[in-house]
Amino acid sequence: MAHVFVSYKHDDGDFAAALKQHIEAAGFDVWMDIDLRAGDVWREAIDHALRQSYVCVVIMTPAASESPYVTYEWAYAWGAGVRVIPVLLEPTDLHPRLEALQYLDFTDRMNRPWDTLLQHIGDIAGEYQAVAIHVPRDAPPAVKQAVLALDSPDSDERVAAMDSLAQMDHPAAVQVLLGALNHPTRDVRIQAVMRLAAMPGVTDDRIAPVLVEALEHDDYTVRRDAARALKDVGDAGAVPKLIDRLLDEASSVRQAAIGALGALGDESVIPHLVAYLDDKTFLVRKAAVEALAGFGEAAVPGLVKALGDEHHEIRPLAAAILADIGPAAVPALRDALNDPDWRVRVNAAATLGTIGDAVVVPDLIPLLREQGREGGGSRAVRQTAARALGRIGDPAAIQPLVTALNAKDHKDVKDDIARALLAIDTPEARHAVEQWAKRSRWLPR
């Protein structure tokens, strides 16, 4: 049977006993560790009692705040979705989590708020009783059995029940999972919503709020899966919490949160996504680039920045997205031809060649002569500029290419210049290549 769990330091046992009497006199069942039987394993008994409670009343004093046992109990309760009511017996600096829960001040012996405490417990008990899961009359026995397991003190049994319901091809199983979204135990709510979010065609206004709640779960895999599910659910109200998860210590959570933010399509998140183009983890940076792809022209500056990423998969990915954006990306790419990072210059030139707008020809021509810029890569810049000019095919590039072809340079650069002239395919361009080919014994491949 569900009960009120009282957490206290044994030095405060007299007050804890009085508290127990007040709560029981109001008609509520109470569990305290004085109920432990000889031979019980302390931690297992505490865990079991906490899982069967709907509220944990924690008596706080300076000594209790430093007690690892008291801290374990209220933290376990909070993590399991059990409501926590801090009762301040002596002036104490509370943990921020407890302080946020609006503690009750019992420090004045002559004016202790017993009625307020009992009212809070009664309200929580009422909520707990009100969320009993409705089981359709025609539900198969397996569904009814799974519903019973949702209240099991064993978390593995609850998870197994959820798995079983998710695999059943029966409307009653879906109804039970929807009912579990209001279960008093947080882990049950979260496990239910994870399975519902993965089911095609299942929609409910309660799914997104529980997924948002799951973003703060202690287990990083739950936070990650919640963010992934929000990517498909698409609830704009999740944006602030998803932004918070960008600071998550787990890179997979950051990656999933970025993906969800990109899918929501709110342009206000673009600066947050751009910031994670500097993340230490490659997959997080890649997720940021992929998320920016959905914002089109508004994401161009961030995508241009990604052209200089150190990872060989991210640079071409950003370039391909910019090429898809097309003419709207041209101004930023023209500016990027002067970027200090040679990788940015190379990928900007290549992308401009793919877009094919002749307006950039005057910007590409100077790159044919680039020499010895800080950071290296000049040869790659010259080669890429030649290829881009060839793809654009503007005759205005012929004379600069011919000049570069006849200048002293590396064989690979000359090869690309010659191919660019052949791609432009005018008599002047072909003649220049033929003359150079005779002198150099070059054979086009």
Q: What is the mean pLDDT of residues 415-444?
A: 87
Range of weakest confidence among 39-43, 60-64, 155-159: 39-43
173 and 185 belong to one structural domain? yes
| % of the chain surpassing 70 pLDDT | 93
**Residue ranges making up the domain that contains 101:** 3-130
Long-range residue pairs from 250-255, CB within 8 A, at least 24 positions apart, any chain: 250/220, 250/223, 250/224, 251/279, 251/281, 251/283, 251/284, 252/220, 252/224, 252/283, 253/220, 253/223, 253/224, 253/227, 254/279, 254/281, 254/284, 254/287, 255/224, 255/281, 255/283, 255/284, 255/287
73 and 173 belong to one structural domain? no
What pLDDT score does 102 carry? 78
> Per the domain annotation, does 385 fall within a domain?
yes
What pLDDT score does 37 carry? 45
10 and 123 belong to one structural domain? yes
Domain boundary among 184, 204, 224: 204
> Per the domain annotation, does 327 fall within a domain?
no
33 and 89 belong to one structural domain? yes
Dmax over Cα atoms in the chain, in whole Å? 108
> Per the domain annotation, does 157 fall within a domain?
yes
Domain boundary among 143, 176, 204: 204
Q: Is the dihedral of CA 396, 397, 400, 403 positive or negative?
A: negative
373 and 444 belong to one structural domain? yes
**pLDDT, tens only, 317-360:** 999 999 999 999 999 999 999 998 899 999 999 999 999 999 99
9 and 92 belong to one structural domain? yes
> Per the domain annotation, does 225 fall within a domain?
no
Q: What one-character-per-residue DSSP string does 64-126 give? A: HHH-HHHHHHHHHHHHTT-EEEEEESS-----HHHHTT--EE---TTS--HHHHHHHHHHHHH
71 and 44 belong to one structural domain? yes
Can you tell me which residue has the tokens 């342009």? 267
> Per the domain annotation, does 224 fall within a domain?
no
203 or 67, greater pLDDT = 67
> Per the domain annotation, does 299 fall within a domain?
no
What pLDDT score does 35 carry? 53
Pick from 104, 102, 132: nearest CA to 116: 104
**pLDDT, tens only, 383-416:** 999 999 999 999 999 999 999 999 888 889 999 9
Q: Is residue 223 a contact partner of residue 252, using CB atoms and an 8 Å limit?
A: no
| % of the chain surpassing 90 pLDDT | 51
275 or 100, greater pLDDT = 275
Which domain CATH number covers 19? 3.40.50.10140
> Per the domain annotation, does 168 fall within a domain?
yes
Range of weakest confidence among 74-88, 98-112, 146-160, 253-267: 146-160
54 and 165 belong to one structural domain? no
Residue 130 pLDDT > 60: no
Pick from 407, 424, 436: nearest CA to 361: 424
9 and 110 belong to one structural domain? yes
What pLDDT score does 79 carry? 77
> Per the domain annotation, does 340 fall within a domain?
no
443 or 362, greater pLDDT = 362
Question: Considering its fold, how many domains does the chain have in total?
Answer: 3
Domain boundary among 169, 204, 239: 204
116 and 82 belong to one structural domain? yes
**Mean pLDDT for all residues in the chain:** 87
What pLDDT score does 445 carry? 55
179 and 108 belong to one structural domain? no
Q: What is the mean pLDDT of residues 121-132?
A: 67
